[in-house]
Structure 1
Amino acid sequence: MSLTLRTISREQHLAYIQTLPAASHMQVPAWADVKAEWRSESLGWFDDRTGELVGAGLVLYRQLPKIKRYLAYLPEGPVINWFAPNLTEWLEPMLAHLKQQGAFSVKMGPPVIIRRWEAGSIKQGIQNPDVKRLRDIEADFIEPRAFEVADKLRRMGWQQGEDGGAGFGDVQPRYVFQVPLANRSLEDVHKNFNQLWRRNIKKAEKAGVEVVQGGYHDLEEWQRLYEITAVRDHFRPRPLSYFQRMWTALNTEDPNRMRLYF
């Protein structure tokens, strides 16, 4: 496939994302409105043969003080075919474009999963005194193509960072815990909880605890609980205004994108 890269409109960007089975919320056009302190741009990759849009990326630019030089960041993106054999032909035009825009450094987050661990395997690992970190546990699933992607990126000069680096306070976690709920009954989900969790759920139900969906005006109460958690778990919380902006931006673009539960 021969490719052409060019800037695209928010409407084109969103329409493409909506055709995909999944994409990060940080690669939708509205995320640029959340990150108001960054300049943003939508990029699109087009198939030269058909003219079809086949990839997209939201780029955030942060300017250095006093000079027109930028850090360019594609959080959990770009949304392209990362397993394509011609990966260089996807990324080199992007780098050339970002350089033209004044970027001196580019950070991206390839949404490529290398390893998956089932909950049972992690539980056994926690009980093993020889296990010091997640990588010490044998993975239940390994994607061999992901290692090829990593090798290609290294050969292109990309470096894997352990943290956000200078100027990047929004680095995403490398390990993510997910509970698969699709096509599963509540009883089936409960079966995978440990005995203490199941007992606590039953205790809460008997005590009359209910789960309800909140709205924008409930964010203040959520913020109160969030700040209590931040003190307890020793992390720096974001201000209420950040989540209010997030709610407004994301839900204006898609009314079901961000939900709040109590």
Structure 2
Amino acid sequence: MRAKVVGVVFSAVAVLGSVAGCGSGGAGAGGGGREGGPGEGKDESRRVRALGHDQLRHVELGAREVPGFVVEKGSRATAGHGLPSTDSEACRPLVVAMGSQPQPAPVGSVVDTFAATTEQGFQGLLGTIRVSAYAGDGAQSTLRALRAAARECAGGFRMKTGEGQPQRFEEVRTLPAPGLGDEAMAYRLVNAAEKAPSLVTVVRTGSALSMFFATHLSDPGAVEIPERLMAAQVAKVERLQRAERPPTAPPPPHAGPAPGPDEDGEDGEDGEDGADSEEAESAE
């Protein structure tokens, strides 16, 4: 059943990328939060470790680490194609976040896909998780720019994907953010052509951003990013940042199905390098 779900996830990646790219999720994503999330504007006296690329590979969720979800290694295409463009300078941060070239560029990124499952199989809810580590204040400035763009572009915006395809979003709605990390934000995008909502949530933990994107292939009204999925991902980032002896080598190769010839992993990784983190941690 796992292989069948994986096939569905990757066949839907093109839809994910063209509709709303590599972001993160919001409206069913823990509705008890507040806009801006915890820590917005607070004095952060605690120090956390800046993660290198190989270390970042250890934060990826295991394939069955979160009950009810299958998590698989993603690829560059999973996170959107290239650098999308727009004539609206105010909306540019939202547009750039939909491609595979974040600005400012992170030190490293890992991308995974997730799909909700039950005993009956794939349920239609799927999405991506991108965890990126930044130098300096890159994580803070990225989140700040996204927050401002979501407010300025509430009435929607036009853009072109990294492949040059025109897209129009008729609404950007800021949503309650989950109570995770140092600060967080969430918003909802509505594609004008398909009337399909996509959810985006971004959680900053120190100098790292965890970005969650979700859509639902069969029931747009059921799209959500459950908080337990986000909490599990953010907790792994926090543990690694605070570890006394963080790993210095990447985890062993992922045992899952190999990607197609054009599905190289983020930052030039081949898709077989993905991290089933639980297996990786137990192997150390």
What TM-score comes out, normalization by structure 1 length? 0.27
Q: Which has the higher contact order (CA 8 A, sep 6+)?
A: 2
- Structure 1 or 2: more helix by fraction: 1
